[in-house]
């Protein structure tokens, strides 16, 4: 499904299409800066670096811990086995989601750097052309009925395929330049048997994201009726509700 190689203490995973090109330099933002190939950044918990190489525009992201643990260990994780690392699991999941025909960025490569019982990680994914997050759009304008429907049907399609997203929020739902909806960031995501319990928990997390961002942003083109419309369309698209 994807290639794996070891270079010194680094385990490299790569999409077969890019395996011959990948080197350790690819996971170093300074390397791309020196070549003047950085074309953008996005701030979140940490900086995501957008770089352009040949015909590929990609996003480089380092794995950082959140919460109280993150203040102590920052980017360090306990290493037991490569297949148990969050890096490997996210990369493998995204490869499966691509195969299922779901709208996710193509995974390009990932690096797991092992030092004794500790590992650190990085992942590179293909950038989504003309991407705007749902939050970015709502700061500017209202969603159209078609856009609400597309979001609802996209989430339902993921749920119908048993895709659990650990952090479904407004920043992880993107529109591409053609108006198609993509979902990103599958760290700690997994495939599960479709069930209302976890599906509803995913939607409740998204609802909390809307409420949180409404309180944080002075201008937000979103109202309760929009959520009701989105949620109704989502429910009608779930297989077990048909």
Task: Please list the active-site residues.
Answer: 167
DSSP state of 1: -
Long-range contacts of 207-215 (CB under 8 A, 24+ apart): 209/168, 209/169, 209/170, 209/171, 210/170, 213/135, 213/138, 213/170
* CA 90/CA 116 separation, integer angstroms: 22
Rg of the chain over Cα atoms, rounded to whole angstroms, equals 18
Copy the structure tokens of residue 108.
């390009």
SS3 108: strand
């Amino acid at each position: 499904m994807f290639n794996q190689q070891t270079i010194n203490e680094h385990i490299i995973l790569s999409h077969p299409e890019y395996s011959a090109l990948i080197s350790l330099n690819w996971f170093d933002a300074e390397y791309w800066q020196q070549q003047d190939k950085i074309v953008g950044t996005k701030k979140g918990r940490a900086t995501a670096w957008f770089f352009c190489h040949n015909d590929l525009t990609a996003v480089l992201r380092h794995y950082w811990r959140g919460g109280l643990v993150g203040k102590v260990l920052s980017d360090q994780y306990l290493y037991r086995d490569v297949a148990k690392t969050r890096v490997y699991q996210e990369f493998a999941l995204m490869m499966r989601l691509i195969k299922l025909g779901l709208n996710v960025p193509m995974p390009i490569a990932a690096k797991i750097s092992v030092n004794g019982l500790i590992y650190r990680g990085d992942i590179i994914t293909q950038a989504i052309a003309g991407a705007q997050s749902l939050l970015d759009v709502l700061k500017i304008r209202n969603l159209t009925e078609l856009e609400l429907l597309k979001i609802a049907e996209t989430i339902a399609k993921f749920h119908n395929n048993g895709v659990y997203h650990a952090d479904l929020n407004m920043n992880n739902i993107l529109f591409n330049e053609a108006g198609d909806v993509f979902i990103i960031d599958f760290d700690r995501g997994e495939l599960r048997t479709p069930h209302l319990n976890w599906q509803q928990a995913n939607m409740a997390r998204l609802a909390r994201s809307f409420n949180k961002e409404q309180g944080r942003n002075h201008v937000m083109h979103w109202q309760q009726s929009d959520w009701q419309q989105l949620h109704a369309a989502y429910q009608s698209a779930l297989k077990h509700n048909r």
